[in-house]
Amino acid sequence: MSIKADLPHLLSLELGNITFNRRVLAQAQDRRTPLLERLRFLCIISSNLDEFFEVRVAELKERIRLGDIARPGETTPADTFEAVVEQTHALVADKYNLLNSEVLPALAEEGVRFLPEKEWTRQQRNWLSNYFLREMAPLLTPIGLDPVHPFPRVLNKSLNVAVQLEGRDAFGRNSGTAIVQAPRLLPRVIRLPKQVAGRDHCFVLLTNVLQAFVGALFQGMNVLGSYPFRVTRNSDLFLDDEEITNLRTALQGELPQRHFGDSVRLEVAVGCPAEMEDFLLKQFELTQADLYRVDGPVNLVRLMQVPDLVDVAALKFPPFVPGLPRALEETTNMFSAIQNGDILLHHPYQSFSPVIEFLEQAAEDPNVVAIKQTVYRTGTDSVLMKYLIDAAQRGKEVTVVVELLARFDEEANLNWATKLEEVGAHVVYGVVGFKTHAKMLMVVRREFGRLRRYVHVATGNYHPRTARLYTDFGLFTCNESICDDVSEAFKQLTGLGRAKKLHHLWMSPFTLHTNIIAAINRERRNAKAGKPARIIAKMNALLEPKVIEALYAASRAGVKIELIVRGVCSLRPGIPGLSDNIRVRSIIGRFLEHHRIFYFFNQGEENVYLSSADWMERNFFRRIEACIPVLDKKLKARVIAEGLKASLADNTQSWEMDANGSYRLKKGRVPRSAQDQLLADLSAGS
């Protein structure tokens, strides 16, 4: 049976992204959420929308420009863009309305204030004037627009002020408009000293200071108005796979251009005159549909630092200390612990420190002869990378597969690659045309005259900071067949030959998609034969059409399918005769749900897999991904209980999806929060 004729076959990726941010907005709207966390959620939405415009909207506009037709089962790019414009404008308006009507007034009542210029005392104005002249003015370059000074190149997402002027400058020029760009090294939030503010937590936005004192940059001229604006640009890098001879060199040449890609969005503060809006739109070759008038700071994402600047526990989520598995409480030697059995870590409820200690001990242990690791995102100040450098300096064979095209982390990864090469590590830049997204770490150790391998595989990145914010599983094992598979995977990444058939590991772009489809179809056949059949899958996004078709077919056969998809889901659940056995929910809470877990009942065997891959075309066909089974029965039970059943039982932060792509917050008489329960069960306490 086909889907209803009046509905597109698949839900829109772009509109699903907006719907996801609506669910994040609900966290900021929830008055049970601590105030500074509500502010943080608003900043997260702003950050999400930045990337949404830089990548998704930019791609959509390019498809329209090229006259691209609709993909099978989807609406046309032009229709999608029209819906995106309408829904995004509404989301932005609601975000700023919440900020101004609830969050900022409530923070002010708690002693955290953002002072607008109209409320500055004389003492505060004098202090800010001195701050402007001392810390800001020397860094600013006002650009008066005339035939010699055309409109400047404006960096992606930079803060700028358009200034309307009257009068003549020192050379007798009569320019009506100037642009002042705020250098990125200037803090966007300025804390007033307590003796000036009269309280502990009083802030002024850089925008307000610029607007108040910008006249000092135009001596002898009259400032008629100053208007903050911000432009968002296409930030995808263009690298022609067929033309690349040196990926690192090509990337180094392309990265600086990211800041000057095609414009896709213009944000201006409310109050900007229509003629100035039109002038800016013309400069950036944008239309009214691309203009976003915001009632507040145009760079709201920069308020993300405020919760870290305010030390008031009552305004934040309660602190917690990540716990440790019992196996690691009994010994500090990671190799001994892993020899005694596989070890599962559930972040952020359990600590990421065992991963760091594993690499630290490997670097220092004279019996360790080789270390191999994939790096996708690890941060600019990674202790893990430092231990890899230390290991190489100690003479160990260190091989690091660094993904240079990890979006927005390219520069950090380039820097680490350079440092690793300088100490003699083998650095491989992945495979051209395929991003290396798998999370694998292997240590080879000489024990009793033979070599033994130890492996860590994970659903999340090797990034200590995000391990405190994202939910992920990590698995340590020295199981020989798993280690053999991971070793073959590294050979595939670094060498040129074909890997031999793997025992357990499913890999993209080779076997993952085929095996996922096969596992779904096996459940379908079992259901048709009258046997119990069930699929539970948790991921960040579900978009791949063939997987969706397989799930539809399994649903029609009677397979009970429960999908926990945090972000965008193109599958339509609950359509009679097509997907009435499929339920989709999204968990949105304190932590970013990030693990990928796949469960297939398989006649009671209960096959459980941990993966780095979402069910998206890019993960199956354009990335190198790893998916491994959890073989230890006790750990498998933990993954099912903690990673799946807890989410299915959640009735406080779980959103149920309907066939139209709308979500409804699930509520129960007895509140159950998966994240709160796991914090209570697994963390070491507050």
Amino acid of residue 109: E
Q: Which helix (H) or strand (E) holds 224?
A: strand 222-233
Structure-block tokens of residue 107 = 């923070």
Choose among 25, 272, 45: nearest CA to 161. 272
Residue 365 to residue 335: CA distance in whole angstroms: 10
**Residues with Cβ < 8 Å from 572, sequence gap 6 or more?**
3, 7, 10, 11, 578, 579, 659, 660, 661
Which DSSP symbol is given to 633? H
Sheet containing strand 291-294, edge to edge, reads: 143-144, 177-181, 160-166, 222-233, 263-269, 291-294
Output the CA–CA distances (angstroms, integers) from residue 588 to 85, 181, 567, 572, in the order listed.
24, 37, 9, 20
**By the 8 A CB rule, do 462 and 378 touch?**
yes
> How far is residue 309's CA from residue 617's CA, in Å, rounded to a whole number?
41
**Beta strands at 435-436 and 623-629: parallel, antiparallel or unpaired:** parallel
- Spatial separation of the C-alpha atoms in residues 548 and 529, rounded to whole Å: 22
Element (H, E) at 226: strand 222-233
Picking from 575, 582, 661, the residue whose alpha carbon sits closest to that of residue 1 is 575
List active site positions. Answer: 437
Find, among 679, 327, 645, 644, the residue nearest to 475 by Cα: 327
Q: What is the per-residue burial (b if ≥16 Cβ within 10 Å, else e) of 87-105?
A: bbeebbeebbebbeeebbe
- Whole-angstrom distance, CA of residue 421 vs CA of residue 399: 10
Cis-peptide, bond into residue 509, ω within 30° of zero: yes
- The identity of residue 193, as a single letter, is P
At a CB cut-off of 8 Å and minimum separation 6, what does 56 contact? 13, 14, 17
**CA-CA-CA-CA dihedral for 389, 390, 393, 395, to nearest 10:** -110
Distance between CA atoms of 7 and 582, rounded to whole angstroms? 18
CA dihedral 386, 392, 398, 400 (to 10 degrees): 40
Q: Which residues contact 649 (CB under 8 A, 6 or more apart)?
A: 672, 674
Take residue 367 and report the two structure tokens written for it: 């019996």
Instruction: Round to whole Å and give the CA distance between 73 and 56.
Output: 18
For tokens 């251009």, the residue is 257
Residue with tokens 């003479």: 395
H/E segment holding residue 564:
strand 560-565
Give the Cα separation of 584 and 405 in Å (integer).
31
